């Protein structure tokens, strides 16, 4: 359905092109058949193009983009099941995955029920996994299989069983087990199929950066000790494992040992050591020296540096506190690697950004050159740090340069081809959009900004309270009160109604920008604003009873009062005023005088003198300017005896004589 | 099975006739009179959904099939297994989504995928629903050994699906 619509919308030439790129040989065959008379040249059968089984699917998928009006496809397309806040997005996706885990647990627990084989050929993932115990019959082949499936725990168990039985294990197998154990630090990794857990995992940066997690004296080192004579591969895997889990000193010592024994290591091992140079040396000069030494050693061993080397060197440079040294060395490194034919990945650009665009450093426009270089290119993941680029680039656009057009360029690059796959995880994605929206609402006109807002919110990104505040500020600056009802309903949905600062700014915008009733676009506004105010009043009252997180202030209530009066809802307004009057000892602050003034004016119109006098009494009791109110009441009503007497006691006899 | 018992003498008669002389049997088929129809209650208070309110001969006109597959076409594969599996899926759905399913469970098979659609009552939180969705999809796919997708719609109240009372 979508495909056909898509095709209809395209001009003819581009249909041929788009089909030509996906299913070339069919199209060419058809078009040459259609016009045989014109061509005298003999029919040429085009060469067969090799296709993979998923090519058609990918070509079809290429015609569909992300639908901004629908939630992500992992959620169910039903109003009840569509998540409406960041917390809900996370909870729903994780609960679905937890249901998956429950099903998997059932499968493993009642394995005898799931031994049937329907699929041809059998799909391994649907069958329960093998269970290895102390008594299982194992041999080398089962160990080999487990290593291929990277089942760390089972592989180690089987290895221990084989050891106990004293059966020989080939050197190759031992090496691959060592590699597996080193790679995962002898811990079971998070299974591949749990993509949501990966997407929402909080990247614990502190643990990432500091602290060794390498298990000293564990299986990896035992395996390494068993391998005699030491092979370069054994050295390489142990060094890389230690470097990955930040056992830095010993990794470096092993590298030196290997160097002394004239053992030829590979490039990636050197890369892993270059990555941890910052843990080995303290000052920038020492780090740079060690880095160059390592690189020279590599060139002596005739090792060709690769992308990993480039990124590792840049990572080392990015830890320099000395800005000038970092800049000059980065500029030194880049052309050298270019000469070597190493193509930079997004990770490289990420490091360049954090090297050049520092908070306290001078302003650098390196991102302009980077974007000129890579605009319109499609990237694939080549290095673990590739996913950091987009969030950092947007951060630079907002905080370093505050440049709208650059941000748009970054966004365009993100939506080129399959680049969106490189956005990282949910945290990085939200950082990206946070910076993007904050930048746009500061720099763009409110109408243009609202277009982007409509596109992104709520299905792709839900603003955090901080960003909401920025948006409200932009609305306040632009006097765009007409957007407030919409933003308020979003705030209600996103559960931002417990933030006092947000409530205050919503009220302030609506009170300060009195709608002009003559403009047709704003005719509905007073009423809508009154609705928002009433909604807010009820919500806060509710929240006060339950959560006690927020409470009214006099000013807030005064603003609500004003809006209700303006919206013509006098009944509710007097209810709100009764609340103010009754709880005046509990509510900090008083309503603005203008609020009372407007309320009294409205009560004059509604011909309810007792409400007006209550307002006056409140004003007198709270030492506010009362003569203007009294005058208003005196002139507005023809008061009866009791009311007149009350007025007299409040403002004194002298006032009436004037 | 009662209707079969009633049919026995007629069938015997028909067979005897068929053997003696070839003729065409013209009376209505009894089994078509009973299945998929609901008896009217004396108080007229039995709720029916739209699907239940339409007897089988409206399939394809006013309502649609509950199982969509190609197993009963000519050269179709696994007809009996498919029927049994569909029964299993329906039982599994109504048991896992206990007291929540307000409609028939529709099972559609396309290539190697099974899509299961149903109307679900909004009686539990969305979070629990997502847990059940993940659980049902995964467990059924282990059982059928193919990808299974749930396509649920929710209704606020179970009375929303009632078409008429008989």
Say what the pLDDT of residue A506 is: 86
Residue at a domain's end among A265, A287, A308: A265
Does one domain contain both B16 and B84? no
Q: Return the pLDDT at A560.
A: 83
Both A123 and A261 in one domain: the answer is yes
B13 and B60 inside one domain: no
Residue A104 is predicted with a pLDDT of 94
Beta-carbon count within 10 A of B16 CB: 9
Residue A523 lies in a domain: no
- If asked whether residues A128 and A256 sit together in one domain, one would say yes
Half-sphere exposure of B27 (CA within 13 A, CB side): 8
Residue A638 has pLDDT above 70, yes or no: yes
Domain count, chain B: 2
Contact residues, chain A, for B126 at CB < 8 Å: 80-81, 83, 88, 92
Question: Is the model's pLDDT at A658 over the cut of 60?
Answer: no
| Model pLDDT, residue B99 | 92
Using the Cβ of A100 and the Cβ atoms of chain B, whether some distance falls under 8 Å is answered with: yes
Q: Is residue A55 part of a domain?
A: yes
Beta strand pairing status for B113-121 and B148-155? parallel
Confidence grade of residue A542 (pLDDT, cut at 50, 70, 90): confident
Residue A489 belongs to a domain: no
Answer yes or no: do B25 and B81 share one domain.
no
Does the beta carbon of A105 lie under 8 angstroms from any beta carbon of chain B? no
- Final residue in a domain of this structure, among A265, A292, A324: A265
Asked whether residue A169 falls in the same domain as residue A261, the answer is yes
Which carries the bigger pLDDT value, residue B15 or residue A22? B15
Together in a domain, B87 and B7: no
Residue A184 lies in a domain: yes
Among A16, A35, A62, the domain boundary falls at A62
Please tell me which of the candidates B138, B143, B154 has its beta carbon nearest to residue A100: B138
Instruction: Please answer whether residues A274 and A312 qualify as being in contact, where contact means their C-beta atoms are separated by less than 8 angstroms.
Output: yes
- Asked if the bond preceding A447 is cis, omega within 30° of 0, the reply is no
* Cβ <8 Å between A103 and B139: yes
Q: What is the mean pLDDT of chain A?
A: 83
A-B contacts (CB, under 8 Å): 78
Q: Which two tokens stand for residue A61?
A: 């998928």
Same domain for B159 and B87: yes
A619 is written with which tokens? Answer: 């004003």
Do residues B52 and B89 share a domain?
yes
Kindly state whether residues B55 and B119 are assigned to the same domain.
Answer: yes
B91 and B72, same structural domain? yes
* pLDDT digit string, tens, across residues A159-212: 888 888 888 888 888 899 999 999 988 888 888 888 888 888 765 544 555 677
Structure tokens at B14: 């028909």
pLDDT tens digits along B84-114: 999 999 999 999 999 999 999 999 999 889 9
Residues of A in contact with B154 (CB under 8 A): 78-81
pTM of the model: 0.81
Q: In this predicted model, what pLDDT tens digit does every residue of A210-245 receive, in sequence order? A: 677 888 888 888 888 888 888 889 999 999 999 988
Q: Specify the pairing of strand B47-49 against strand B67-68.
A: unpaired
Q: Read off the pLDDT band of A19 (50, 70, 90).
A: very low
Is B19 found in the same domain as B72? Answer: no
Task: CATH number of the domain at B150, please.
Answer: 3.30.300.20
Q: Mark yes or no for CB contact B154/A99 under 8 Å.
A: no
In eight-state DSSP terms, residue A446 is H
Its domain, for residue B16, covers 1-35
Q: B24 and B51, same structural domain?
A: no
Q: Which domain holds residue A38?
A: 1-62
Give CA A132 to chain center in angstroms.
40
Give a yes or no: residue A377 inside a domain.
no
Residue for token digits 């078009």? A31
Co-location of B85 and B143 in the same domain:
yes
Q: How confident is the model at residue A106 (pLDDT cuts 50, 70, 90)?
A: very high
Do the domain assignments include residue A306?
A: no
Q: How far is CA A174 from CA A143, A169, A182, A629, B17, in A?
A: 10, 7, 12, 92, 82
- Is the residue at A471 inside a domain? no
Which of B127, B150, B154 is closest, CB to CB, to A92? B127
> Based on the structure, what is the number of domains in chain A?
2
* pLDDT digits 0-9 by tens, A308-362: 999 999 999 998 888 888 889 999 999 999 999 999 999 999 999 999 888 877 8
A74 — contact with chain B (CB < 8 Å)?
A: no
The pLDDT assigned to A2 comes to 46
User: Do B14 and B93 lie in a common domain?
Assistant: no
């Amino acid at each position: 359905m979508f495909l056909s619509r898509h095709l209809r919308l395209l001009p003819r030439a581009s249909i041929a092109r788009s089909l030509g790129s996906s299913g070339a040989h069919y199209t060419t065959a058809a078009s040459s058949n259609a016009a045989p008379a014109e061509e005298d040249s003999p029919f040429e059968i085009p060469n067969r193009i090799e296709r993979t089984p998923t090519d058609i699917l990918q070509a079809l998928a290429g015609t569909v983009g992300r639908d901004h009006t629908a939630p992500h496809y992992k959620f169910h397309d039903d109003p009840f099941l569509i998540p409406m806040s960041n917390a809900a997005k996370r909870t729903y996706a994780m609960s679905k995955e937890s249901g998956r885990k429950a099903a998997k647990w059932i499968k493993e627990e009642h394995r005898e029920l799931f031994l049937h084989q329907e699929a041809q050929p059998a799909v391994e993932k649907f069958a329960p996994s093998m269970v290895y115990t102390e008594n299982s019959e194992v041999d080398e082949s089962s160990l080999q299989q487990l290593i291929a499936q990277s089942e760390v725990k089972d592989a180690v168990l089987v290895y221990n069983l084989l050891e106990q039985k004293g059966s020989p294990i080939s050197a190759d197998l031992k090496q691959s087990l060592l590699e597996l154990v080193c790679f995962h630090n002898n811990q079971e990794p998070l299974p591949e199929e749990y993509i949501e857990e990966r997407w929402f995992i909080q990247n614990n940066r502190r643990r990432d950066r500091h602290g060794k997690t390498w298990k000293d004296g564990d299986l990896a080192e035992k395996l390494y000790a068993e391998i005699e004579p030491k092979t370069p591969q054994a050295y390489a895997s142990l060094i890389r494992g230690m470097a990955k889990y930040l056992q830095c000193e010993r990794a470096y010592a092993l590298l030196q040992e290997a160097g002394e024994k004239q053992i030829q290591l590979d490039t990636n091992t050197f890369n892993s050591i270059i990555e941890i140079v910052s843990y080995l040396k303290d000052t920038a000069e020492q780090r740079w020296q060690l880095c160059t030494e390592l690189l020279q050693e590599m060139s002596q061993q005739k090792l060709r540096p690769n992308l990993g080397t480039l990124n590792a060197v840049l990572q080392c440079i990015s830890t320099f506190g000395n800005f000038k040294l970092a800049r000059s060395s980065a500029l030194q490194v880049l052309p050298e690697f270019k000469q070597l034919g190493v193509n930079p990945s997004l990770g490289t650009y990420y490091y360049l950004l954090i090297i050049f665009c520092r908070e306290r450093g001078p302003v650098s426009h390196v991102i302009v050159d980077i974007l000129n270089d890579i605009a319109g290119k499609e990237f694939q993941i080549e290095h673990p740090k590739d996913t950091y680029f987009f969030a950092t680039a947007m951060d630079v656009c907002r905080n370093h340069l505050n440049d709208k057009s650059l941000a748009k360029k970054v966004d365009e690059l993100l939506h080129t081809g399959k680049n969106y796959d490189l956005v990282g995880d949910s945290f990085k994605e939200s950082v990206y959009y946070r910076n993007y929206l904050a930048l746009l609402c500061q720099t763009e006109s409110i109408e243009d900004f609202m277009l982007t807002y409509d596109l992104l919110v709520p299905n792709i990104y839900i603003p955090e309270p901080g960003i909401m505040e920025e948006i409200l500020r932009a609305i306040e600056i632009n006097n765009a009160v007409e957007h407030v009802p919409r933003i308020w309903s979003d705030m209600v949905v996103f559960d931002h109604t417990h933030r006092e600062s947000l409530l205050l700014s919503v009220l302030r915008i609506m009170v300060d920008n009195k709608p002009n009733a003559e403009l047709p676009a704003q005719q509905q506004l007073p009423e809508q604003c009154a609705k928002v105010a009433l909604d807010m009043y009820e919500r806060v009252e509710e929240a006060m009873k339950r959560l006690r997180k927020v409470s009214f202030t006099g000013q807030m209530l005064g603003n609500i009062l004003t809006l209700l009066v303006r919206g013509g809802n006098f009944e509710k307004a007097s209810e709100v005023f009764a609340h103010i009057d009754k709880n005046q000892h509990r509510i900090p602050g008083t309503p603005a005088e203008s609020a009372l003034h407007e309320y009294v004016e409205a009560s004059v119109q509604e011909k309810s003198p007792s409400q007006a006098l209550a307002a006056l009494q409140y004003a007198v009791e709270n030492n506010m300017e009362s003569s203007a109110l009294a005058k208003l009441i005196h002139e507005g009503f023809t008061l009866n005896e009791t009311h007149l007497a009350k007025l007299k006691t409040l403002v004194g006899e002298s006032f009436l004589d004037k | 099975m009662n209707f079969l018992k009633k049919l026995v003498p007629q069938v015997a008669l028909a067979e005897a006739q068929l053997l003696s002389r070839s003729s065409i049997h013209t009376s209505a088929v009894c089994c078509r009179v009973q299945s998929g129809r609901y008896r009217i209650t004396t108080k007229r208070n039995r709720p029916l959904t739209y699907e239940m309110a339409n007897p089988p001969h409206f399939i394809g006109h006013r309502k649609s099939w509950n199982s969509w597959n190609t197993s009963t076409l000519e050269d179709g594969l696994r007809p009996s297994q498919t029927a049994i599996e569909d029964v299993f899926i329906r039982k599994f759905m109504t048991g896992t989504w206990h007291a929540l399913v307000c409609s028939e469970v529709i099972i559609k098979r396309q290539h190697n995928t099974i899509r299961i659609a149903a109307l679900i009552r909004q009686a539990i939180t969305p979070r629990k629903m997502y847990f059940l969705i993940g659980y049902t999809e995964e467990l059924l796919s282990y059982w059928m050994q193919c990808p299974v997708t749930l396509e649920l719609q929710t209704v606020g109240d179970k009375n929303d699906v009632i078409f008429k009372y008989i």
